[in-house]
Structure 1
Amino acid sequence: MIDEFPEHVLDVPLAEVEEAVRKAAAAEITPRFRQLADEEILEKNGPHDLVTVADRAAEAHLTASLTALLPGSVVVGEEAVHADPAVYEALKGDAPVWIVDPVDGTRQFVHGDPGFCTLVALALHGDVLASWTFAPALDEFAVAVKGGGALLDGRPLRSGAPAPGAGLEVATSHPDYTTPDQKRALLGLVTEGVRPRPCGSAGLEYLAVARGALDATAFSWEFAWDHAAGLLLVTEAGGTHTTVAGEPFRITGGNALPFTAARDTATAERIRALLGGQ
């Protein structure tokens, strides 16, 4: 791992992206934390899929600031795609794409739990080049650059490997977001030596893997805004990811699900086998 990141990715100063993320959170998210009125919280696709005025305002703020940093770039954000699913197709286009989840862990945010974050990734032709994970209520900021390593608050991140013989803690998809087949696959984790639990903010679960505080994830949905930033963070910290088909996860979609991100290859292969991978 190098000590310092390359100064630019696609001619974008990395420090300016971090500043943009911090400013969006300071302007639109932090002032609303534990201050939301009932009418500022809405359901999108049911009671477990919430959106708030903070999500929408932060995404608009980031869309303006990030595209200004990289002229010709586009944004694929969770709220924009909810309004117009065709926006997601930009991941397959030729323009650089900012992938944005303004408040990852909206349920936690709504309930006053500090376990939420803002996720930003920069991708080109389906390849994630850099990512930013900011947990404002926890005051933690992680950055990763493809081939350049990963940092948390300026310190190198290393995922390491579980101790030999230790049980594995695995964060898994919420049951409301799984098909019957995926539920059956996830039941494979209910075995001796594995401790599955429902996930919180996906971005913070990936950060936990990257810092060696969580052994693996097992997720059954593939929206890029939930996974792009964290998968690069895990990879650059020394971890890996694989679908049940034994292929790396693709942010453009069409993945065999569930998939796992893990601290090391041996753990990833064990989880993949338990999920029914061949």
Structure 2
Amino acid sequence: MIDERVLAALLPRVEEAVREAAATEIMPRFRHLAPGEVSEKKGPYDLVTAADREAEAYLTRALTAILPGSAVVGEEGVHAEPARYAALAGEAPVWIVDPVDGTRPFVHGKTGFCTLVALAHRGETLASWTHAPALEQFATAVRGGGAWLDGERLSTGSAVPGAELEVSSSHHEYTTPERRRALLGLRVPGVRIRPSAGSAGLEYLALARGEFDGTAYDWENAWDHAAGLLLVTEAGGAQTTVSGEPFRLAGGNALPFTAARDAATAERIRRLLSGG
């Protein structure tokens, strides 16, 4: 595991790199994308832009220079070369990067996007950085050291016993039949589905701030979840897959999974997802 002193030394350098990537590669293209700078990956709901590619390239160079010998698992790099994802199960420290989380809002000129970076080693997420440049927000989390937003400590708070749950959820129409049935377990009295913000990273940040109760997601790409899960747990929350096991960065999780403001709420959501 990475020494605590090494980790403490690299924290401000990573923040600087994330801010610089946003300032040089993302924000100049915000609301100024040329037609040739937007394309589809798997369909019209899976977009990629020049900002995604160039910001990930910038961060790949910067982060591996900050921590020599480390690997990068980034959304665009894995799309081009799927075998890169296997680094999450290896021995080297891994930077997990989503250069523009919320590409569709970004393309449509909306502010609901962010850059996500997490540092993991041997399956454990050690630190995370969530930067929403258009909202001028920067959140960090360190394993065992708490979660912070712009210098203020974050807390998920506790659910009110018996109160209605507000849950951010994957859409049940865009998944497998098994996961659809699980997600439909939330469509019961006492649960309100939160409208999607279009960015998992910003949903995790809102949860870490105590703005709602929990999530129910049915996909497991590490770049979407690693930073936010650490942010939520360090703010006092909890997470579990539908099987009751913790979420694994390398994949193979029982899905859906949940992150919630406290352990009792996580278990309540898990039971709804598992039909219990």
TM-score, with normalisation over the residues of structure 1? Answer: 0.95
Deviation at 1:266, TM superposition (A): 1.0
Gapped regions of structure 1 (runs ≥ 5): 1-5
Q: 1: CA distance between counterparts of 2:252 and 2:213?
A: 25
Matches within 5 A, 1:19-34: 19-34=16-31
> What secondary structure does 1:45 align onto?
strand
Q: Describe the SS at the equivalent of 1:208.
A: helix
Alpha carbons 1:149, 1:236 under 8 Å: kept: yes
Residue in structure 2 matched with residue 118 of structure 1 by the alignment: 115
Q: Give the aligned partner of residue 270 of structure 2.
A: 272
Q: How big is the shift at 1:163?
A: 2.4
- 1:110-189 aligned within 5 A: 110-175=107-172, 177-189=174-186
In structure 2, what is the equivalent of residue 3 of structure 1?
A: none
Whether 2:203 is the aligned partner of 1:202: answer no
Residue matched to 1:225 = 223
1:248 and 2:249 aligned: no
For 1:75 and 1:12, locate their aligned partners in 2 and report how far apart those are by CA, in whole Å.
Answer: 19
Structure 1 residue 183 displacement after superposition: 1.1
Residue 236 to residue 277, structure 1, CA distance change in 2 (3 Å): farther
Matched, 1:216 2:214: yes
Deviations along 1:136-186, one digit per CA (max 9) or x if unpaired, are: 011111100001111010110010112233211111113464111111111
Q: Quote the Cα distance in structure 2 between the aligned partners of 1:42 and 1:180.
A: 29
Contact 2:146 2:153 in 1 (8 A): yes
Unaligned runs of 5+ in 2: none
TM-score of the pair, normalised by structure 2: 0.95
The one-letter code of the counterpart of 2:237 is G
Distance 1:233-1:277 versus aligned 2 partners, 3 A rule: farther
User: Structure 1: which 4+ aligned runs deviate by more than 6 Å?
Assistant: none
Code of the aligned partner of 1:239: G
d(CA) in 1 for partners of 2:89, 2:227 = 17
* Distance in structure 1 (CA, Å) of the matches to 2:4 and 2:243: 36
- Asked whether the equivalents of residues 244 and 277 of structure 1 are also in contact (C-alpha less than 8 Å), the reply is no
Name the CA distance, whole Å, in 1 between partners of 2:173 and 2:51: 24
Deviation at 1:94, TM superposition (A): 0.9
The alignment yields a C-alpha RMSD, in angstroms, of: 1.5
Superposed CA deviations along residues 99-124 of structure 1, whole A, max 9, x for unmatched, are 00000010111111101000000000
Equivalent residue letter for 2:50: V
Mapped to 1, the partners of 2:140 and 2:40 lie a distance apart of: 31
2:103 match: 106
Matches within 5 A, 1:18-97: 18-97=15-94
Determine the C-alpha separation between the residues in 1 that align with 2:166 and 2:31.
30
Equivalent pairs, count: 273
Are the aligned partners of 1:7 and 1:14 in contact in 2 as well (CA < 8 Å)? Answer: no
- Name the aligned partner's letter for residue 72 of structure 1: G
Given residue 234 of structure 1, which amino acid in structure 2 is its aligned partner?
Answer: V
3-state secondary structure, aligned to 2:236: coil
Where 2:135 maps in the other structure, the secondary structure is coil
Q: What is the rounded CA distance, in whole Å, between the counterparts of 1:162 and 1:175 in structure 2?
A: 25
